[in-house]
């Protein structure tokens, strides 16, 4: 079945450093979403990418959807302690039933 993997699994960065997490799907995606889950919290929707090669920015966060629509990345510039949490990508395919499969997540720790 469809699998969505994320790397790295964990990342510790010094405050002010950049951070990138990568999401790879075993199948072509119709679109991809990104979520952030703070420690002890629930996932919060960040953004959705639909078009091949699409790039979207939200302040210090840059999201990219690959040309082949099988991978995506989230880049955070100059991390802050408020960026701590686990970042999940969620990919949807239209083969069979339409549902989002969440990636394995990247847990980010920011050291002050």
* Contacting range for other proteins; rule: CB under 8 A; set: 20-28, 65-73, 74-82, 100-108: 100-108
Residue 97 Cβ vs other proteins, minimum distance, rounded to whole Å: 4
Is beta strand 61-65 parallel, antiparallel or unpaired with respect to 55-58?
antiparallel
Decide if residue 87 touches other proteins (CB under 8 A).
no
| Residues 22/73, Cβ–Cβ less than 8 Å | yes
* Contacting range for other proteins; rule: CB under 8 A; set: 16-24, 53-61, 76-84, 96-104: 96-104
Half-sphere exposure in the Cβ direction for 87 (13 Å, CA):
28
Decide if residue 7 touches other proteins (CB under 8 A).
no
Decide if residue 13 touches other proteins (CB under 8 A).
no
Which of 21, 22, 32, 33 is the binder for other proteins (CB under 8 A)? 33
Decide if residue 99 touches other proteins (CB under 8 A).
yes
- Token pair listed for 111: 């050291």
Decide if residue 88 touches other proteins (CB under 8 A).
yes
Is beta strand 99-102 parallel, antiparallel or unpaired with respect to 19-25?
unpaired
Give 7-47 as a 3 state SS string: ECCEEEEECCCCEEEEEEECCCCCEEEEEEECCCCCEEEEE
Residues that bind other proteins (CB under 8 A): 31, 33, 35, 41-45, 47-48, 88, 90, 92, 97-105
């Amino acid at each position: 079945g469809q699998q969505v993997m994320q790397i790295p699994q964990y990342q510790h960065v010094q405050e002010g450093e950049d951070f990138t997490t990568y999401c790879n799907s075993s199948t072509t995606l119709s679109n991809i979403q990104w979520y952030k889950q703070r420690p002890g919290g629930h996932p919060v929707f960040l953004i959705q990418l639909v078009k091949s090669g699409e790039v979207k920015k939200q302040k210090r966060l840059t999201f990219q959807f690959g040309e082949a629509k099988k991978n995506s990345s989230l880049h955070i510039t100059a991390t802050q302690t408020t960026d701590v949490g686990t970042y999940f990508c969620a990919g949807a395919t239209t083969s069979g039933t339409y549902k989002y499969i969440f990636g394995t997540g990247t847990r980010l720790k920011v050291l002050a």
